[in-house]
Amino acid sequence: MKITISILTMLLFGTLQSFGQHVGMSIQQLREKNIKIEDIEKNYKNAIDTPPAESVFKTEELQPAYEKLLKDFSAFLFQKNFKWERKTKCFQRIYFNTDGTIDYFIFNFLGKPEDQPSPEKQTEFEKLVNLFVQDYKFALSAKVKFAQCSPTSYMP
């Protein structure tokens, strides 16, 4: 009995650890893998929060760094010859480690199904998100893990 519990504990811990670093996926994939966003959220503080005293950063320091991340990501997509067919709206929540590396990049395409990218385009986007998060380092670091979200419109 003791051995079985130890093996189960090691398997569970190993599974959670495998999702702990540099992962990009859609909210639908998160659900398919039975990963609850609440389980991720409890380990990260909001980069900007209300009341402001609970924020990791002040708005004026976070905004330029976050805009740089979005521009860097767009340039990365362009460099990889990824082109949007039409204006594409996406909501993303990015979870950062204390050193600014990206632990999770969770995204969700918005709008009517006919306005969303094709399944093939979504798969290609996810692969590129995963490549991007492997090496990207956010311009800011903090004493705690933090998260930032935003809607984004990607243009053709």
So where are the chain's domains? 21-154
Tokens standing for 151? 């809607």
Whole-number Å distance between alpha carbons of 143 and 114: 43
The pLDDT tens digits of the residues spanning 102-114 come to: 999 999 999 999 8
Residues in the chain: 156
Q: What is the pTM of this model?
A: 0.84
The pLDDT tens digits of the residues spanning 84-94 come to: 999 999 999 99
